[in-house]
């Protein structure tokens, strides 16, 4: 069974079709990268998987659960976590506090209500463990606003990972990063737990080809091509869209 299954997804804003009959499956452990020109509908697709936008028609399953009509909080509890194209962290909170909110988004409500102290310590432990895994333990007490942009984006991924999701969605995690920060982000992505499913929207082809098991190319809201990296790179229609780019 696929971790994510999307069937016949359609969405329009007025007369602008942004999602055009998309079918997509992502297996557990798969690193799936979505590429496509600006305005192709990548973020809108991720919003529909995350519950931030509603499809007009079509259905979405996460780990066998039909989440099409669930809100983002319910989807988080079903095992979904995501980051956004723009940084959405709390600038005045510490790294630790930001990541702890990620734990609470998934587990906050399901911990035993009659053991609040124990649950708080579990939440704190999970937060520490996530920060340690991403080598962010040393900056745990820093206020977010004092960090470099590259570190902030890593904290965002940490906050998403903190809830131990089954499926993680990253919308352009390397945008605005320096080459060194981009390499650090690639390491973070490659270090993700093997059973987790991952969907990454990415423009940087070096990142695309160093992390992807499969690539889907979106073009005017529709899937232009989808498959293993070498197959997609050799696809004539994809090469036309990326004319001049070294795929
Ligand atoms: N809330 C909205 N209302 C109306 N139009 C929208 C809305 N959100 C997105 N669009 C339009 O839908 C199209 C797809 O946008 P989307 O953000 O999904 O593209 P994208 O592939 O993520 O692009 P980029 O690479 O620039 O991030 C664009 O033409 C955009 O202007
Ligand atoms: Mg986008």
| pLDDT, tens digit, 9 for 90 and up, residues 229-240 | 999 999 999 999
Answer whether residue 245 shows pLDDT above 70: no
Nearest residue (CA) to ligand 1, atom 18: 41
Answer whether residue 241 shows pLDDT above 60: yes
Q: What's the pTM value of the predicted model, to 2 decimals?
A: 0.92
Nearest residue (CA) to ligand 1, atom 28: 39
Question: For residues 21 and 25, what is the distance between their CA atoms, to the nearest angstrom?
Answer: 14
| Beta bridge partner(s), residue 216 | 34, 226
Angle 95-107/149-161 helices, nearest 10 degrees?
Answer: 20
Instruction: Give the chain as a 3 state SS string.
Output: CCCEEEEEEEEEECCEEEEEEEEEEECCCCEEEEECCCCCCHHHHHHHHHCCCCCCEEEEEECCEECCCCCHHHHHHCCEEECCCCCCCCCCCEHHHHHHHHHHHHHCCCCCCCCHHHHHHHHHHHHHHHHHHCCCHHHCCCEHHHCCHHHHHHHHHHHHHCCCCCEEEEECCCCCCCHHHHHHHHHHHHCCCCCCEEEEECCCHHHHHHHCCEEEEEECCEEEEEECHHHHHCCHHHHHHCCCCCC
Ligand 1 atom with minimal separation from the 45 CA:
18
Q: How far is CA 48 from CA 44, 59, 182, 203, 240, in A?
A: 6, 10, 27, 20, 28
Ligand 1 atom with minimal separation from the 36 CA:
21
Test site for ligand 1: of 14, 15, 16, 175, most ligand atoms within 8 A of the Cβ: 16
Count of beta carbons in the 10 Å neighbourhood of residue 117: 7
Ligand 1 atom with minimal separation from the 218 CA:
21
Q: State the pLDDT at residue 119.
A: 76
Answer whether residue 115 shows pLDDT above 90: no
Q: State the pLDDT at residue 110.
A: 52
Ligand 1 atom with minimal separation from the 44 CA:
18
Answer whether residue 114 shows pLDDT above 60: no
Q: Give 236 Cα–ligand 2 centroid separation in angstroms.
A: 24
Q: What is the mean pLDDT of residues 177-182?
A: 94
Answer whether residue 129 shows pLDDT above 70: yes
Question: For residues 165 and 153, what is the distance between their CA atoms, to the nearest angstrom?
Answer: 18
Angle 95-107/116-133 helices, nearest 10 degrees?
Answer: 120
pLDDT band at 87 (very low <50, low <70, confident <90, very high): confident
Answer whether residue 73 shows pLDDT above 70: yes
List the domains of the chain with CATH numbers: 1-79+166-247 (3.40.50.300), 89-164 (no CATH)
Strands 80-82 and 4-13: unpaired
Tokens (6 digits) for 66: 């039909």
Question: For residues 143 and 153, what is the distance between their CA atoms, to the nearest angstrom?
Answer: 14
Nearest residue (CA) to ligand 1, atom 30: 39
């Amino acid at each position: 069974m696929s971790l994510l299954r999307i069937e016949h997804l359609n969405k329009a804003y007025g007369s602008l079709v942004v999602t055009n009959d998309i079918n997509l499956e992502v297996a557990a452990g798969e690193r799936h990268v979505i590429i496509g020109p600006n305005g192709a509908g990548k973020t809108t697709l991720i919003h529909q998987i995350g519950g931030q936008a509603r499809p007009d028609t079509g259905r979405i399953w996460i780990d066998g659960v039909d989440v099409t009509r669930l809100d983002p909080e319910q989807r988080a509890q079903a095992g979904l976590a995501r980051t956004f194209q723009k940084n959405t962290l709390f600038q005045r909170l510490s790294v630790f506090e930001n990541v702890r909110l990620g734990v609470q988004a998934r587990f906050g409500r399901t911990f035993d209500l009659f053991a609040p102290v124990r649950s708080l310590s579990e939440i704190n432990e999970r937060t520490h463990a996530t920060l340690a895994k991403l080598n962010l333990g040393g900056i745990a007490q820093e206020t977010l606003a004092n960090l470099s942009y590259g570190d902030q984006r890593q904290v965002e991924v940490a906050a998403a990972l903190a809830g131990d999701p089954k499926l993680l969605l990253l919308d352009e995690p390397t945008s605005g990063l320096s080459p060194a920060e981009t390499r650090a982000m690639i390491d973070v992505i490659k270090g993700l737990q093997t059973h987790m499913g991952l969907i990454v929207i990415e423009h940087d082809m070096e990142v695309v080809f160093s992390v992807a098991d499969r690539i889907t190319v979106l073009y005017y809201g529709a899937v232009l091509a989808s498959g293993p990296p070498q197959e997609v790179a050799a696809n004539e229609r994809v090469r036309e869209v990326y004319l001049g780019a070294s795929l």
